[in-house]
Amino acid sequence: MSATEKFIIYAPRYRDESGGAIVLHKLCDTLNKLGYVAKLWPLWKPRLSVHTPLDSAPSAVAYLGSRLYRGKYAINKRYDTPIAKASDIEDSVVVYPEIVSGNPLGAKRYVRWFLHKPGFHEGQFKYKHNDLCFSYQDAFNNLSSGIKYGGTLIVSEAFLDIYKLTNVKDRTKSCHMIRKGKNRLDLPDLSHQWVVDGHTHQELSKIFNECKICYFYDLYTTYAAYAAVCGCIPVIVPLAGITKDQWIPEEHHRFGLAYGIDEIPHAIATRGLMLDSLRAINQKNIESVKHFVSTVREHFNW
C-alpha cells in the first residue's frame, strides 16, 4: 500500500468523556502520522448522492437535528483529523464503528471496527457476508463465521498528564461508576452511594485519589484503568454467566483490574504492569495500525 492510500473514519464528534469518540479520532490521527491519508466523516452526516442508501434517511435526519443543538462538529485540536468531502469517498476505505448498520456512505470499500459487542448500543445490526471486521478486543468479536475477522485494532489514548497518583495515604472511601451498565438487570439501588458518572477527567483524577475502591458496572470502560493509575482499586462488578476469561480473554488486558472482589489481590499485584503498558501506548498504537493497514491491503488486493 502506498502512502497516498486513503481512509475515512466514520466518527461522532470528539468528546473527552467518550472512549469511542476518542479512539476513532485517534485512529485518524495515527494513520496520518504514519504517512497515510486519513479524514473524518461526521457520524450520521448524509452523503447526498445516488450512492446513498435509502435506509440511511432516518440517520440523516437525526444528524441534521443534532446540529441544531450541538453546533459545529467537534474535533481534538491536538490531533491531525481533517474532515472528508463526498469526493473523498470514492477512493477511500471507510471505517465504520459497530453501531453502524449497512453502508450509509455507499463506499466501494469499507471495514468495521467493533468498539463494543455488536448490538449492545443499538439492539440490532446489519452486516454483509464477508465484511472485514476488526475489534478493540477479541471479546467483542461474537459474530458468525460469515464475517471475516481481521483481528484486533487497538488505538488508545492515555491521559497520564491528568491521571496520576497524588495520594499515598490510607484510604477508606469508595465510589461507583455506571456508564454503559445503566441497563443491567442486576444494577443495585445506588441512590445513597457516591456515583461519579458525569465528572470531568480532572475531577475524576481527584476522586480516584480519594477512594480506595471504585465499583464499575460498565465492563469495558477505560476509566477503570485510570482509577488504577490513581491508586484506586477498580472492581468490575461481574455480570452473571460471564467468566473472567470470557470478559477479557487476554490476560495482559486484565492487568490492574479486579473482576469481582476476589480478584482485588490480582489487581494490586499487576498494577505496575498495567502502568508500564499505558506508558508504551504510542508504540503499541503504531504496531496495531500497521497490522490493520496490512490486513486491509490484503483483503482488497491493493
CATH code (residue 90): 3.40.50
pLDDT digits (tens, 9 = 90+) for 177-209: 999 999 999 999 999 999 999 999 999 999 999
Q: C-alpha grid cell for residue 270?
A: 499487576
Q: C-alpha grid cell for residue 166?
A: 497524588
Q: Domain check: are 55 and 178 in the same one?
A: no
CA 157 to chain centre: 10
pLDDT at position 234 = 98
Give the whole-angstrom CA distance, residue 155 versus residue 228. Answer: 20
Q: Domain check: are 127 and 252 in the same one?
A: no
Bridge partners of residue 59, in order along the sequence: none
Residue 275 lies in a domain: no
Strands of the sheet containing 211-216, edge to edge, are 173-177, 211-216, 233-236, 258-259
pLDDT at position 1 = 45
Domain ranges, residue 285: 6-157+280-300
Could you give the number of structural domains in the chain? 2
pLDDT at position 53 = 54
**Pairing verdict, β 148-152 and 132-135:** parallel
Give the whole-angstrom CA distance, residue 65 versus residue 44. Answer: 11
Q: Domain check: are 70 and 198 in the same one?
A: no
Q: Domain check: are 102 and 204 in the same one?
A: no
Interior CA angle at 181 toward 195 and 20, to 5°? 100
Residue 288 lies in a domain: yes
Give the whole-angstrom CA distance, residue 21 versus residue 27. Answer: 10
Q: Domain check: are 25 and 71 in the same one?
A: yes
Q: Domain check: are 196 and 285 in the same one?
A: no
Asked whether 76 and 94 are in contact (CB, 8 A), the reply is: no
Interior CA angle at 121 toward 116 and 122, to 5°? 125
Q: C-alpha grid cell for residue 182?
A: 445503566
Minimal CA–CA distance to 89: which of 205, 11, 8? 8
Environment class of 56 (CB within 10 Å of its CB; exposed 0-12, middle 13-18, buried 19+): buried
Question: DSSP states of 275-298 as a string?
Answer: HHHHHTHHHHHHHHHHHHHHHHHH
Residue 166 lies in a domain: no
pLDDT at position 44 = 86
Residue 106 lies in a domain: yes
Give the whole-angstrom CA distance, residue 24 versus residue 3. Answer: 20
Helix (H) or strand (E) holding 29: helix 19-33
Residue 194 lies in a domain: yes
Question: DSSP states of 151-183 as a string?
Answer: EE-------TTT------S---EEEEE-GGGTT
Q: How far apart are the first and last CA of the chain?
A: 6
Q: Domain check: are 122 and 255 in the same one?
A: no
pLDDT at position 68 = 58
Give the whole-angstrom CA distance, residue 73 versus residue 83. Answer: 10
Residues of the chain with pLDDT under 50: 1
Q: Domain check: are 198 and 121 in the same one?
A: no
pLDDT at position 207 = 98
Q: Domain check: are 249 and 118 in the same one?
A: no
Give the whole-angstrom CA distance, residue 95 versus residue 98. Answer: 10
Give the whole-angstrom CA distance, residue 59 versus residue 43. Answer: 9
Q: What is the pTM of this model?
A: 0.77
Q: C-alpha grid cell for residue 256?
A: 490492574
Minimal CA–CA distance to 97: which of 66, 60, 71, 122? 122
Q: Domain check: are 254 and 177 in the same one?
A: yes
Residue 33 lies in a domain: yes
Q: In whole angstroms, how large is the CA radius of gyration of the chain?
A: 20
Q: Which backbone phi and psi does 174 adopt, to 5 degrees?
A: -135, 155
Residue 114 lies in a domain: yes
Residue 27 lies in a domain: yes
